[in-house]
Amino acid sequence: MRVYDRTALILFIFSMRAKSHEGKMQVELAHLNHLSSRLTKGWSHLERQKGGIGVRGGPGEKQIELDRRMLGQRIKQLKIKLLKLEKQRANQRGARRRSKVFTIAIVGYTNAGKSTLFNRLTSENILAENKLFATLDTTSRKLFIEYGHDLVISDTVGFIKNLPTTLIEAFKSTLEEASDADLLLHIVDISNTNKSEQILQVEKILEEIGANNVQQILVLNQIDKIKLNAGYDRDEYGRINRVQLSAIKGDGIEFLKKAIVERSLSYINERNGDYA
Ligand SMILES: Nc1nc2c(ncn2[C@@H]2O[C@H](COP(=O)(O)OP(=O)(O)OP(=O)(O)O)[C@@H](O)[C@H]2O)c(=O)[nH]1
Ligand SMILES: [Mg+2]
Ligand 1 atom with the smallest distance to the CA of 127 is: 16
**End-of-domain residue from the set 81, 113, 140:** 81
**Total number of domains in the chain:** 2
**16 & 141 share domain:** no
**End-of-domain residue from the set 54, 81, 108:** 81
8 Å CB contact between 107 and 185: yes
Domain hosting 42: range is 6-81
Give 189 Cα–ligand 1 centroid separation in angstroms.
8
| Lowest model confidence (mean pLDDT) among 36-40, 206-210, 216-220, 230-234 | 36-40
Per-residue pLDDT reduced to its tens digit, 9-40: 888 888 888 878 888 898 899 889 888 877 66
Per-residue pLDDT reduced to its tens digit, 135-170: 777 788 888 776 656 788 988 888 888 777 777 777
8 Å CB contact between 185 and 256: yes
In the structure, which protein residues have their CB atom closer than 6 angstroms to any atom of ligand 1? 108, 110-116, 128-135, 158, 221-222, 224-225, 246-248
Give 138 Cα–ligand 2 centroid separation in angstroms.
9
Strands 151-155 and 139-143: antiparallel
Per-residue pLDDT reduced to its tens digit, 56-68: 555 556 777 777 8
Q: Considering the chain, what percentage of its residues have pLDDT values greater than 70? A: 88
At residue 253, does pLDDT exceed 60? yes
**172 & 58 share domain:** no
What 3-state DSSP class applies to 195? helix
Task: Please report the DSSP string for 201-244 in residue order.
Answer: HHHHHHHHTT-TTSEEEEEEE-GGGGTPPPEEEE-TTS-EEEEE
According to the model, what pLDDT value does residue 276 have?
45
According to the model, what pLDDT value does residue 46 have?
52
**165 & 214 share domain:** yes
